[in-house]
């Protein structure tokens, strides 16, 4: 409980936020509490997207023996000398399982161990088997078409570093290298509590749960407990009782309206450390903890919910999961079409439409602008120290739909 | 069946590829046969990552009525004139459900409809309710804190274009706008046939299925039929009988070894149009069709399998699903450390390790280099017309782990 010098926020319902915590201070709070989770061992076939909890070493020499680099005939290179289209060298077909006698050729597939005695692999297209007779149309040098034992890695050599996110490619390669199981960082378990939609403000259906489910999966988390349609303070507090969770996320009822019960419920159950952040949209975000488990209260308006998730919850998830904490979005530089006016002291997230290099700001954060935001294919973040940008300014655009995924 | 001028490839087992089809010709074959699938209607909550099959229009004005842009007091702006911290204007607390009488203020939450009579919303922090008395500390202009009816979109206005890939953000916004269901392109159904590992070449466990499952999901496809451990030609042919599939993918047994039965099985069931492509790795890829359904035979060696998937199968999947056919990997420019020597006429895919701007080529494609490839965080593609690049050349690097995902 604390030691962070923050005084408990007051109940802001029907009062508004008299003070707001800087985004940088909220991030500091989060970073101080995020702990990389423990390791678990999983089957390699289910490990794509997971984060290595320890360096991964080769279990044996790769390859374990001298083997063929391509489909072809295993030969003794000396036997192929002088072979040509017009005057082929003639060898006797042998079985790849036996040691290769002088004057013979054994067909084998890429990756297969070389039979003792062979010192080269001739591609099939440079030879021709007719019954037991193999004609060789080109000489091959000793060592050609062969991968030496341990040429790729010695037993015990580190193949992949701790913290590496396993790609589909890696899974295929690791299985081929004989790896069966890997130690990865446990996936953060999220308790997701979704408030009932406010009757006064639109559709009865909750907009945030499907969005958050997808974002949580993107950041490597799993929803381990889900409560939806939560309204009163008691139900909200009950939803936050999730002893197994590594992170509690609440969507909705975080604001300054009379029915915004989430902050009070968190204060009742644990500690509301921060409420009201100098962020637009997403300013009604609350942050705290229940018995050491971080809790983030996200606004119910979907664009504010998204913004608060991206700024705070996603970062916490990625840190717990051992991932790069930075926003996972692809970035590019854009040139601003039109100006952006932002309040000093506030971090503002503006939706933009990027066409080529031109970034066109859409609705201002406080205008809501849900339909306009649909047109956005990216966003820009105005730092707290700036009062915006003039037209033509070079800005960093974070692109939607191009995030790295877990 | 055909009309593409390609003659059926010969059985290449124990013979090798006498001729190889250019990568460009193979892509042309694929592009000519890829058809965008039909539309289906799905619940908006399950639509993240899906592709819009038609433009999406606003079902009603957004917002449907004049509403609050922020939490606060609905007021008549004229009533707030002259209010200050020292001499607040005093209004009477009213209920937001009723028309707003002169001299009163009704609390409402962002997004709620403005009560008739009100023409502005004052943030809670600029007022204070004490019982039925509301003190106003600052004047507010008419129209402030308000979103006008249809300000964001008129009923029928196009919100998102056909072909748009729905992002998590979009799902939240669309639900908030009252959208319940959307028409999206059907997900391509893949029949995945995985050959039994070759006993001679390493672990008994198949390396490709988990890799391909993940890649197919990335490209928006779903595995609708799965056969694993397939060995003989009859079993291979039976695995290809997948009447519901939009695409048949076979992994393994595509090469020139005696037990490479996939090409023969395809020729038996339908048509093997292309076998042997001027691509490294992945040269033993086969392409054809069974009753109009495209079939791609991928090599069994995992790096070759990956490369052939990325070059051909992924593109076909993305085209069928209405997506951008280009490789989904994030790209960046790198400066080559060391040279790359490539064969003219062959497209070669080289694994590289990118550090900052420096791209270091790892093992050459024909060397296999599974362990080296694990170190790769990207790849470069040497076009058929080039014989490689000199050290220091500027090359386009495709990055692993940064793909756009469905």
pLDDT tens profile B364-373: 766 657 788 8
Q: Write out chain A residues lying below 8 Å of B169, CB-based.
A: 211, 302-303, 306, 373, 376, 400
In whole angstroms, how large is the CA radius of gyration of chain B?
Answer: 31
Which residues, other chains included, contact B19 with Cβ-Cβ below 8 Å and sequence gap of 6+?
B276
Q: Write out chain B residues lying below 8 Å of A258, CB-based.
A: 107
Task: For residue A165, report the phi and psi dihedrals to the nearest 5 degrees.
Answer: -90, 120
A63: cis peptide before it, omega within 30°?
yes
Shortest alpha-carbon distance between residue A33 and chain B (Å): 27
Q: Mean pLDDT in chain B?
A: 92
Q: Which stretches in chain A have pLDDT values below 70? A: 1-3, 5, 202, 365-368, 402-406
From chain B residues 124-183, the ones with a CB under 8 A of any chain A CB are: 124-126, 128-129, 147, 152-153, 157, 159-160, 165, 167-178, 180
Q: Write out chain A residues lying below 8 Å of B353, CB-based.
A: none
Q: How far apart are CA B199 and CA B189, in angstroms?
A: 30
Q: Write out chain B residues lying below 8 Å of A46, CB-based.
A: 210
Cα atoms in the 13 Å half-sphere on the side-chain side of B156: 0
CB neighbour burial string for B153-176, b if at least 16 within 10 angstroms, e if fewer: beeeeebbeeebbbbbbbbbbbbb
Average pLDDT value for residue range B70-87: 92
Q: Write out chain A residues lying below 8 Å of B124, CB-based.
A: 12, 14-16, 256
Q: What integer pLDDT is reported at residue B288 of this predicted model?
A: 97
**Chain A: residue nearest B150 by CA?**
A371
**Cβ atoms B351, B373 nearer than 8 A:** yes
From chain A residues 240-269, the ones with a CB under 8 A of any chain B CB are: 255-260
Ranges of beta strands (E only) in B299-404 are: 330-336, 340-341, 347-355, 358-361, 378-382, 388-389, 394-399
From chain B residues 59-88, the ones with a CB under 8 A of any chain A CB are: 62-63, 67, 69-72
Q: Write out chain B residues lying below 8 Å of A173, CB-based.
A: 207, 302-303, 370-371, 373-374
pLDDT digits (tens, 9 = 90+) for B147-199: 889 888 889 999 999 999 999 999 999 998 889 999 999 999 999 999 998 87
Identity of the residue in A71, A211, A259 whose CB atom sits nearest the CB atom of B169: A211
> What secondary structure, in 3-state letters, does chain A show?
CCCCCCCCCCCCCCCCCCCCECHHHHHHHHHHHCCCCCEEEEEHHHCCCCEECCCEECCCCECCCCEECCCEEEECHHHHCCCCCCCCEEEEECCCCCCCCCCEEEEECCCCECCCCCCEEEEHHHEEEECCEEEECCCCCCCCCEECCCCCECCCCEEECCCCECCHHHHHHHHHCCCCEEEEECCCEEEEEEECCCHHHCCCCCCHHHHHHHHHHHCCCEEEEEEEEECCHHHHHHHCCCCCCCEEEEECCCCCCCCCCHHHHHHHHCEEEEECECEECCCCCEEEEECCEEEEEECCCHHHHHHHHHHHHHHHHHHHCCCCCCCCCEEEEEEECCCEECCCCCEEEEEEEEECCEEEECCCHHHCCHHHHHCCCEEEEECCCCCEECCCCEEEEEECCCCCCC
Shortest alpha-carbon distance between residue B291 and chain A (Å): 31
**Chain A: residue nearest B105 by CA?**
A14
Shortest alpha-carbon distance between residue A266 and chain B (Å): 21
Q: What integer pLDDT is reported at residue B257 of this predicted model?
A: 85
Q: What integer pLDDT is reported at residue A276 of this predicted model?
A: 96
Q: What integer pLDDT is reported at residue B70 of this predicted model?
A: 82
pLDDT digits (tens, 9 = 90+) for B330-382: 989 999 999 999 999 999 999 999 999 999 998 776 665 778 888 899 999 99
SS3 state at B28: helix
Task: For residue A322, report the phi and psi dihedrals to the nearest 5 degrees.
Answer: 75, 20
Q: What integer pLDDT is reported at residue B1 of this predicted model?
A: 44
* Best mutation target, B211, B303, B378, B398, to test chain A (most A CBs within 10 A): B211
Average pLDDT value for residue range B29-37: 95
Q: What integer pLDDT is reported at residue A252 of this predicted model?
A: 95
Please tell me if residue A19 touches chain B, with a CB cutoff of 8 Å: no
Task: For residue A346, report the phi and psi dihedrals to the nearest 5 degrees.
Answer: -105, 140
Q: How confident is the model at residue B114 (pLDDT cuts 50, 70, 90)?
A: very high
**Chain A: residue nearest B372 by CA?**
A152
Q: Is A207 in contact with B173 (Cβ distance < 8 A)?
A: yes
Q: How far apart are CA A120 and CA A114, in angstroms?
A: 8
Shortest alpha-carbon distance between residue A375 and chain B (Å): 7
Q: What integer pLDDT is reported at residue B2 of this predicted model?
A: 47
Q: What integer pLDDT is reported at residue A2 of this predicted model?
A: 46
pLDDT digits (tens, 9 = 90+) for A136-189: 999 999 999 998 898 888 899 999 999 999 999 999 999 988 899 999 999 999
Closest among A234, A214, A233, A213 to A225, alpha carbons compared? A213
Identity of the residue in A125, A198, A215 whose CB atom sits nearest the CB atom of B15: A125
Q: Write out chain B residues lying below 8 Å of A218, CB-based.
A: 168
Ranges of beta strands (E only) in B236-369 are: 247-251, 271-275, 279-280, 286-290, 293-298, 330-336, 340-341, 347-355, 358-361
Q: Is A109 in contact with B209 (Cβ distance < 8 A)?
A: no
Q: How far apart are CA B276 and CA B265, in angstroms?
A: 16
Angle between helix B208-218 and A168-176 (nearest 10): 170
Q: Is A173 in contact with B371 (Cβ distance < 8 A)?
A: yes
SS3 state at B356: coil
Q: Is A58 in contact with B180 (Cβ distance < 8 A)?
A: no
Q: What integer pLDDT is reported at residue A8 of this predicted model?
A: 81
Distance of CA B129 to the CA centre of its chain: 51
Percent of chain B with pLDDT over 70: 96
Alpha-carbon torsion, ordered B211, B213, B215, B217, to 10 deg = -160
Average pLDDT value for residue range B132-161: 92
Q: How far apart are CA A364 and CA A281, in angstroms?
A: 9
Identity of the residue in A174, A175, A371 whose CB atom sits nearest the CB atom of B177: A371
Average pLDDT value for residue range B130-135: 92
Which residues, other chains included, contact A155 with Cβ-Cβ below 8 Å and sequence gap of 6+?
A58, A59, A60, A61
Q: What integer pLDDT is reported at residue B205 of this predicted model?
A: 84
From chain A residues 323-362, the ones with a CB under 8 A of any chain B CB are: 330
Q: What's the whole-model pTM score?
A: 0.91
């Amino acid at each position: 409980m604390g030691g962070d010098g923050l005084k408990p926020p007051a109940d802001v319902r029907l009062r508004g936020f008299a003070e707001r915590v800087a985004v940088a201070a909220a991030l500091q709070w989060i970073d101080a509490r995020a702990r990389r989770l423990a390791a678990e061992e999983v089957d390699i076939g289910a490990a794509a997207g997971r984060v290595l909890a320890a360096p991964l070493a080769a279990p044996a020499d790769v390859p374990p023996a001298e083997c063929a680099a391509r489909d072809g005939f295993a030969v003794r290179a000396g036997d192929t000398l002088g072979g040509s289209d017009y005057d082929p060298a003639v060898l006797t077909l042998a079985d790849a399982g036996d040691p290769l006698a002088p004057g013979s050729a054994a067909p084998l597939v890429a990756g297969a161990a070389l039979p003792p005695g062979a010192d080269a692999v001739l591609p099939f297209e440079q030879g021709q088997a007719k019954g037991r007779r193999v004609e060789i149309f080109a000489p091959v040098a000793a060592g050609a078409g062969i991968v030496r034992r341990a040429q790729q890695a010695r037993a015990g050599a580190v193949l992949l570093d701790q913290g590496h996110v396993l790609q589909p490619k890696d899974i295929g390669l690791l299985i081929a290298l004989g790896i069966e199981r890997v130690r990865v960082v446990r996936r953060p378990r999220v308790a997701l509590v979704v408030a009932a939609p406010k009757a006064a403000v639109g559709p009865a259906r909750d907009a945030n749960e499907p969005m958050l489910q997808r974002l949580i999966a993107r950041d490597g988390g799993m929803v381990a407990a889900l409560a939806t349609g939560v309204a009163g303070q008691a139900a909200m507090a009950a939803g936050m009782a999730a002893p197994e969770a590594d992170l509690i996320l609440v969507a909705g009822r975080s604001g300054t309206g009379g029915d915004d019960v989430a902050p009070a419920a968190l204060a009742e159950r644990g500690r509301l450390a921060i409420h009201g952040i100098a962020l637009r949209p997403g300013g009604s975000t609350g942050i705290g903890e229940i018995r050491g488990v971080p809790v983030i209260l996200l606004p119910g308006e979907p664009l504010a919910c998204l913004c608060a998730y991206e700024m705070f919850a996603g970062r916490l998830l990625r840190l717990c999961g051992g991932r790069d904490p930075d926003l996972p979005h692809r970035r590019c530089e854009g040139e601003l079409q039109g100006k952006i006016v932002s309040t000093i002291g506030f971090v503002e997230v503006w939706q933009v439409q990027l066409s080529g290099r031109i970034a066109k700001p859409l609705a201002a954060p406080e205008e809501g602008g849900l339909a306009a935001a649909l047109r956005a294919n990216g966003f820009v973040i105005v730092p707290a120290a700036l009062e915006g940008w003039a037209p033509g300014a070079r800005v960093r655009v974070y692109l939607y739909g191009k995030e790295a995924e877990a």
